[in-house]
Structure 1
Amino acid sequence: MIKKILFLFLLAGTFGCADRDLDEVGLVTGKAMVVSAHPLASAVGAEVMKRGGNAADAAVAVQFALAVVYPDAGNIGGGGFLVLRQNDGSIAALDYREKAPAAARREMYQSDNGEVIEGLSQNGHLAAGVPGTVDGMVKLHEKYGSMPWQELVQPAIELAAKGFPLTQKEARKLNEQRLNFIRYSSLRPEFILKDHWAEGDTLRLPGLAEALERIREEGRAGFYEGKTAELIEAEMERGGGIITKEDLAAYESVWREPITGKYKNYYVISMPPPSSGGIALLQLLKLTEEYPISEWGLHTAKSAHFKIEAERRVYADRAKHLGDPDYYDVPVQGLLDTTYIKRRMADFSLDNATDSDAVSAGTPAPSESPNTTHYSIIDPHGNAISVTTTLNNSFGAKTFVAGAQFLLNNEMDDFSIKPGYPNSYGLIGGEANAIAPGKRMLSSMTPTILERDGKLFMVIGSMGGSTIITTVYQIIVNVTEHGLPMQGAVNAGRFHHQWKPDWVLSEWGALGFGTSAKLWLMGHKIAPKPEGGIGRAAGILVLPDGKLEGGADPRGDDAAAGF
């Protein structure tokens, strides 16, 4: 058994992400930049800003473009979170997370004897929450947009109607999901089916173009009312789902106060609950302040050991204390209390791993009062926006809305479907995240903006389900502690620990043989992730001369565009 584990370490030290250039500098522009999961979407956002649009305008255009060209996560049938910082320093956060339908019930994914029904919360019609994306983009545009709404939706319509060439990765994913699309859609979705998709093939989505045209002409009503709402309800009735036209009409996204905090001379602006991202990220950064990470170096045994142990404790807190603040009293101030955070590492050993069974959630001081995609934008005026949007797993519920050609999310799996039972990402949940009608499910999305000395410094975020938080954390530390450029920080190999299950997920080559062997001797269990990598990040760094450097993730088709 020991030989087998060491062999895996040897493989991890030989192949994969370690050979990516840590000194690589990404695209540098003088005025504006978009970094997203698809080059066509990034180009759309850059073009909007060239025509005089601001960061919010570009964000709306990129969101709808991703719904066409990046269907495994880009969406109108899902939801997301965003944080923004205006050039005057004002900040805001928008929660357009999906909600449980009115007919949702606490034990809806359990049998009569209380056993979880495998897959029911992950695939098909019953897995879908009420989508929030369109309402979120409308709210963003109403408050911060400057260009006409119709002009921002039009590029996505043209991409859907005229078609676009598939990348190699997108073609492969469509081939892999073919049978799932047939199984979980009530009517056979011929438009997406083909014996074999290949790189360069053109994908046309005329039904999605028509759905986007309704959004272009009618705004919110073009999705939550009228024909599209009728198509969604009909899809639900055929497939045994529970979303109704009343659920759609009642949906509202919510402006919330961002989670903020200091990390050395940086000011961190991130997403509050029902995202766990902002709180968990600040906890990790506050813990990092206390240790000489820069001296220990990138991916050394000491540095990696500390980060793993910090992640272990933060995810234990996440499991117990975080949920929808409209339904559960989240102890935000207690979780971010400096004394409490430091106390969480009281049993930390520099020499040995902690058994996760010995780690439980802390008791914060009382309050005084997979698949996802991310894009980052800075406009010529210095306004910045960080947006993470999702269907949850890749291609969501695998369910197409017949007649509209868009996918539904499977966000209901992000609830705690049974206390102590892991979701598809292995995350454990409890009472704070139990299912309730109208409730928003807990998320790991971590759209984040950093200031340094009062000025815009970084826009960052990632896809990756439960690994989003640790991806964003490690990239920030790669820049601020290890001195990497934005692209190098995104390139760097990543690893992840989330308390339960008690093992370290590591990209091939992320830690190398020497560090992996030392961590194993300390008691860490390492599980290599051979395909896909951990997270897919999109970052922008403001350089000392005011220029912008993009970090587009080489793990996907991500691209930076700007001028």
Structure 2
Amino acid sequence: MYSSRFICIGLAAFLACASPANQPHSSSKTNTAATPPITAAPVAAAHAMVVSAHPEATRIGLDVLRRGGNAYDATVAVQFALAVCLPVAGNIGGGGFVVYRGADGSVGALDFRETAPAAASRDMYLDAQGNVVPNLSTTGHRAVGVPGSVAGMWELHQKLGKLPWQELVEPARNLAFELRLTAKEAEGLNGQREAFKRLNPDGTVYLRPDGHSDDLGAGTAWRPWQAGDVLRNLPLARTLDLIQKQGRVGFYQGRTAELLLAEMRRGHGLITQQDLDAYQPKWRTPLRGRYRQYEIIGMPPPSSGGVALLQLLQMLEPYDLRKLGWHSAEAVHLITEAQRRVYADRATYLGDPDFGRVPVNELLDAAYLKQRMQGVTPAGMATPSAQMQAGAGLPGYESDQTTHYSIVDAQGNAVSCTTTLNGSYGSKVVVAGAGFLLNNEMDDFSAKAGVPNMYGVIGGTANAIRPGKRMLSSMTPTIMTEKGQLRLVVGTPGGSTIITSVLQAVLNVLDYSLSPQQAVAAPRLHHQWLPDHIDVEAGALTPAAETELQRRGHRLNPRSPWGRIDLIERRPNGQLEGGADPRGDDTAAGY
């Protein structure tokens, strides 16, 4: 069992520590830099490490590693465990991305992103006047893309797994019989009670009946979940049993498929048996680039994360961020200007590479990136986003509740996996009789060019809906090396904030020498081109920095905390250190 020392400090504690006192050096006349928070020490281990969004998933993954499984085995086990213990984002009804680096230096990227059903069409979320119909792409059955998670895990295991498949699914199946809820998960389920009732009229295990009646019909009285309550998802246990025994077939065919298709018919969804049969995960070539002396290994399109992170790091490399000071007005200005340009490019050029050319090489060209940052200086003024279009001369083109886990095994294999249902609890539709939630990933397409999705992200024609197409994502699973040795494994949920959160975690460790725990706990900032403001967590800026940024024309938008970064750093002595984000139930453990 995991030790209590693996549990991260709470959010309130790290915000309280993010005092503007004792600020580090800054190049400005008025010191505007902030002090990174003091946090609990990172979890250290000599051999292997798992950092995930839930203590049970971390425990299960670490147990696989202790029993001789490799990082890929642990990935499968953690994925299925999160589908049980983290229903807000963990899933078998969603999809995601894996980036890996083998102990021998080999690298790979697995795309198990959802796809649009064959019956989907470009204007399916527009009314007769051509306007986007509110909520049609975010809740209910028509918001659902063809799930990829089970096929993705099967594919990963077939290629790289070591332990038997059955052993890796078993812990999640057992967990489904009895899961004790954390305070955060109880609160999340309670917050979706009305949506669960509306979209699941025959009831669902995610609603708690008042009393012991087995009748979960429309007249049922419901009472709130509380921390420590036991959630028994017997339908999900049966589904996992089929997946355990039959592999991919146990989900995409037979009883589970029949229940999923019955759910589609009930709610007028689009997925058919042909869609399930046609779904295939895809091995893709990882993106590789450099930042200072480090190599970055990232996810290519249809994830925008790898391209955007490489653009941001290369745009910022000419500047001495450490000298400017952590979250100084000068550093924040530079980072914001880079983010503004990168998100404008994202909206214009990025989409599924199987459905059109995505100009990755041009977007990552050094001359192009230098031109994009031309005129930007640490002392400069803000560039209004209304004046900032995507870069000229190139061919023309998400969810808060995603989840991420980072794993390193005793042999040195590393996995960075981000997986999602998109919004909180996805479409809010639970497959009756099968116990799992379905995604609302269709909202990650551009329902209409120039109209923002649920995260305020603007999209273009490169991300328009087409049958069989993968929707654009912000997921940014990332691995970094230094001098040929593993250095960082990192990723996070957070919708459109994923890219900027990973960027800040990387800068916190590599430029500001923060520990993994400090790096993931530190208050964050975010800019995504449109809307034209900087989202600011409490404690992220000193009053002096706020005043200076506003003087330069930046608009500041206070916002509640976002993201759940899970990070592993390999130290020069070979020791592994884990940072688990205190904004969630995230937990690091190793041996």
**SS of residue matched to 1:536:** coil
Equivalent residue, structure 1, for 2:138: 122
Between stretches 421-430 and 350-359, larger displacement belongs to 350-359
1:184 aligns with 2:213: no
1:156 corresponding residue in structure 2: 172
Do the aligned residues in 1 keep the contact of 2:205 with 2:231 (CA within 8 Å)?
no
Whole-Å separation in 2 of the counterparts to 1:353 and 1:21: 27
Q: For 1:366 and 1:107, how far apart are their aligned partners in 2? A: 23
2:149 maps to a residue whose letter is: T
2:487 is paired with a residue whose SS is: strand
SS of residue in 1 equivalent to 2:18:
helix
Distance 1:158 1:364, change over 3 A: farther
Report Cα offsets for 1:97-136 as digits up to 9, x if no partner.
0000000000000001101100100001000000000000
Q: Distance in 2 between matches of 1:155 and 1:107?
A: 42
**Residue range with higher mean Cα deviation, 511-520 or 408-417:** 511-520
User: Which residue, out of 124, 137, 153, partners 2:153?
Assistant: 137
Which letter does structure 2 place at the counterpart of 1:313?
R
Matched-pair contact (CA < 8 Å) for 2:141–2:427: yes
SS of the residue 1:459 aligns to:
strand
- TM-aligned CA deviation for residue 216 of structure 1: 0.3
- Is the aligned partner of 1:167 residue 2:182? yes
Other-structure match for 2:18 = 18
Partner deviation per Cα, 1:405-439 (whole Å, 9 max, x = no partner)? 11000000000000000000100000100000000
SS of the aligned residue for 2:354 comes to: coil
CA distance in 1, matches of 2:364, 2:205: 50
Q: Offset of 1:16 from its aligned partner?
A: 6.0
Q: Distance in 2 between matches of 1:320 and 1:186?
A: 41
Q: Return the alpha-carbon distance in structure 1 between the equivalents of residues 17 and 440 of structure 2.
A: 30
Q: 1:539 aligns with which of 555, 567, 581?
A: 567
Return the alpha-carbon distance in structure 1 between the equivalents of residues 205 and 407 of structure 2: 35
Contact 1:16–1:510 under 8 Å retained in 2 = no
1:329-380 deviation digits (Å, cap 9, x = unpaired): 000100010110111111425331110001010136679xx11000000000
Deviation at 1:164, TM superposition (A): 1.5
Q: Report the equivalent of 1:357.
A: 386
Q: Deviations over 1:279-318 (max 9, x none)?
A: 0000000011111111001011101111111101000000
Distance 1:22 1:279, change over 3 A: farther
Contact 2:17-2:37 within 8 A present in 1 as well: no
What do the CA deviations read for 1:421-465 (whole angstroms, capped 9, x no partner)? 000010000010000000000000000000001100010000000
1:112 lines up with 2:138 in the alignment: no
AA at the equivalent of 2:198: R
- CA distance in 1: counterparts of 2:577 and 2:104, whole angstroms: 21
* Offset from partner CA, 1:215-246 (integer Å, 9 cap, x none): 00010000000111111110010011111111
* Identity across matched positions, percent: 55
The alignment status of 1:301 with 2:324, answered yes or no, reads no
**Match of residue 526 from structure 2:** 496
Partner AA of 1:441 in structure 2: M
Q: How does 1:495-514 map to 2 (within 5 A)?
A: 495-514=525-544
Task: Indicate the residue corresponding to 1:8 in structure 2.
Answer: none
Deviations 1:526-551 (A, max 9, x none): 11113xx1211000000111010000
Quote the Cα distance in structure 2 between the aligned partners of 1:74 and 1:364.
Answer: 40
Q: Partner of 2:479: helix, strand, or coil?
A: strand
Matched, 1:205 2:221: no
The answer to whether the aligner puts 1:244 opposite 2:272 as a matched pair is yes
Equivalent residue number for residue 78 of structure 1 = 94
**Does the aligned pair in 2 maintain the 1:17–1:491 contact within 8 Å?**
no
The answer on whether the counterparts of 1:109 and 1:121 sit within 8 Å (CA) in structure 2 is: yes
The question of whether the paired residues in 2 share the 8 Å contact of 1:17 and 1:492 is answered with no
**Structure 2 Cα separation of the partners of residues 81 and 364 of structure 1:** 30
Residue 24 (structure 2) aligns with: none
Report the AA paired with residue 182 of structure 2.
T
2:555 corresponds in structure 1 to 525
Q: Is the 8 A contact 2:18 2:540 kept in 1?
A: yes
2:29 maps to none
| CA distance in 1: counterparts of 2:352 and 2:205, whole angstroms | 38
Match runs of 1:232-381 below 5 Å? 232-349=260-377, 350-363=379-392, 370-381=400-411
Determine if contact 2:73/2:157 at 8 Å carries over to the other structure. yes
Contact 1:319 1:428 in 2 (8 A): yes
CA distance in 2, matches of 1:347, 1:105: 42
Q: TM-score, normalised by structure 1?
A: 0.95
Q: Which runs of 5+ in 1 are unaligned?
A: 1-11
Task: Measure, in 1, the Cα distance between the counterparts of 2:206 and 2:325.
Answer: 50
**For residues 231 and 116 of structure 1, what CA distance do their matches in structure 2 show?**
30
Residue of structure 2 in register with 1:30 after alignment:
46
Contact 2:111 2:283 in 1 (8 A): yes
Q: Is the 8 A contact 2:362 2:394 kept in 1?
A: yes
Query: Matched residue of 1:463: which SS?
Result: coil
In 2, Cα distance between the equivalents of 1:409 and 1:460? 24
**SS of corresponding position for 1:117:** coil
* Distance (whole Å) between structure 2 residues aligned to residue 295 and residue 539 of structure 1: 24
The Cα shift of 1:22 comes to 4.0
Change (3 A) 1:135 1:303: same
Question: Aligned pair 1:446/2:476, yes or no?
Answer: yes
Residues 1:549 and 1:308: Cα distance change in structure 2 (over 3 Å): same
State the match for 2:212 in structure 1: none
AA aligned opposite 1:498: Q
State the shift of 1:47 in Å.
0.1
Kindly indicate whether residue 65 of structure 2 is the aligned counterpart of residue 54 of structure 1: no
> For the Cα contact (< 8 Å) 1:17–1:507, is it kept in 2?
no
1:227 to 247, 252, 255: 255
Q: Tell me, in whole angstroms, the C-alpha distance in 1 between the residues paired with 2:16 and 2:38.
A: 14
1:263, 1:285 within 8 Å by CA — same for their partners in 2? yes
Tell me, in whole angstroms, the C-alpha distance in 2 between the residues paired with 1:156 and 1:53.
Answer: 16
Cα deviation 1:158-215 (Å, max 9, x = unaligned): 0002x12111111111111111111123532255334011111111100000000000
Structure 2 Cα separation of the partners of residues 304 and 192 of structure 1: 44
Whichever residue aligns with residue 380 of structure 2, its letter is D
8 Å CA contact 1:211, 1:404 repeated in 2:
yes
The aligned amino acid for 1:384 is A
* Structure 2 CA distance for aligned equivalents of residues 538 and 271 of structure 1: 17
- Please tell me whether residue 556 in structure 1 is matched to residue 584 in structure 2: yes
